[in-house]
Amino acid sequence: MKKALITGIDGQDGSYLAEFLLRKGYKVHGIVRRVAIEDPGYHLWRINHILDKIVIHPGSLESYASMFKIVEKVKPDECYHLAAQSFVSYSFEDEFSTLNTNINGTHFVLSAIKERAPKCKFYFAASSEMFGQAKETPQNETTAFHPRSPYGISKVAGFYLTQNYREAYDLFALSGILFNHESPRRGFEFVSRKISNAVAEIKLGVSNRLHLGNLNAKRDWGFAGDYVRAMWLMLQQDRPEDYVIATGKAHSVKEFAELAFDYAGLNWKKYTIIDKMLYRPSEINVLKGDSGKARKRLDWGPTVTFEGLVKMMVESDLDRVKKMHTKIKR
């Protein structure tokens, strides 16, 4: 039985990937912060339903010893390094901790694998944020990087660390350059979930306002469940290479909001307030990916449209908010 190790298994992507690998017959191990284990009901809500099928290891990305011990104990066949400080806005507020966690964390995992499980295939969660102010649209594997946030910079560093371990130590190490991917399991700080949650709360009378920043920013939004399949496919190839994963279509934040409110029969203009405080010091206006290489070589493609994704998220939040409030009223 193949063993997979997932850092950040309790996040959106980690949870979908764990489910996917379990279906493929893997023994799944995951790393979460110790604090998450102390209060699993709150921190591990995305993986509570599979906790009896996976092995959880408490560990800290900030400690080499911690990563080393886990890699040594598990000796994984495949490692998916997903854990990171992944909220771009926050990376401007605390550049230092974002750079420390994201760069050192990636370095620690890579080094531990090189020392204790050199045959392990390594996946690094790179990001379209590395393209930033890109010179060409759509972006593909050959597009130059011009990151516009500490988060983007940390991912560029992780990308090059991964490339260097591949070239210098012959590790099967690669990066998936994933564009935005969302789902009902997305964290509430990201704009897609912030909108779907607000729509549900407004529809059900729990709230009456949604504060947003730059409505004109355009992103290439796909469904996270589709993107974890691509991660696995990349590690099943004969040679380690980097791939862009995207839908190839970009939509603005305004379009997302308009559609989400529409599904609930509401007019977005009535409830949305533009808040300049939510603008980023340096924004990326448009990101749109060209995943031609992945489509051809991995036979990968998205199965959920933008409209389908917005609908899925709004329906899920309507359901959740409804249940929560029936519970509170009782």
Closest separation between CB of residue 143 and ligand F7E, Å?
Answer: 14
Active-site position among 26, 151, 227, 243: 151
Q: How far is the CB of 12 from ligand F7E (least distance, A)?
A: 9
Nearer Cβ to ligand F7E (112/230): 230
- 3-state class of 26 per DSSP? coil
Nearer to ligand F7E, 19 or 220 (CB): 220
Least distance in angstroms from the C-beta of 163 to ligand F7E:
18
Kindly tell me which of 172 and 256 has the beta carbon lying closer to ligand F7E.
256
Rank residues 48 and 282 by Cβ distance to ligand F7E and give the closer one. 282
**Listed residue (122, 120, 18, 20) closest to 77, CA to CA:** 120
User: Which is closer to ligand F7E, CB of 120 or CB of 192?
Assistant: 192
**Is there a catalytic annotation at residue 86?**
no
Backbone torsions φ then ψ of 290, nearest 5 degrees: -115, 105
Q: Clarify whether 151 is annotated catalytic.
A: yes
Asked if 183 is an active-site residue, the reply is: no
SS3 assignment, position 100: helix
Residue 281 structure tokens: 């010091």
Question: Of 15, 60, 127, 175, which is the active-site residue?
Answer: 127
What b-and-e string marks burial along 120-148, b requiring 16 or more CB atoms within 10 Å of the CB?
bbbbbbbbbbbbbebeeebbbeebebebb
CB of 53 to ligand F7E, least distance (A): 26
Pure H helices in 142-265: 150-169, 191-203, 224-235, 253-263
Residues that bind ligand F7E (CB under 6 A): 86, 88-89, 127-129, 179-180, 189-192, 194, 212-214, 217, 219, 253, 278, 280, 283
Long-range pairs for 107-111: beta carbons < 8 A, 24 or more residues apart: 107/161, 108/61, 108/63, 108/64, 108/66, 108/67, 108/68, 109/7, 109/61, 109/67, 109/71, 109/79, 109/81, 110/81, 110/161, 110/162, 110/165, 110/171, 110/173, 111/64, 111/68
Q: How far is the CB of 122 from ligand F7E (least distance, A)?
A: 18
Active site residue ranges: 127, 129, 151
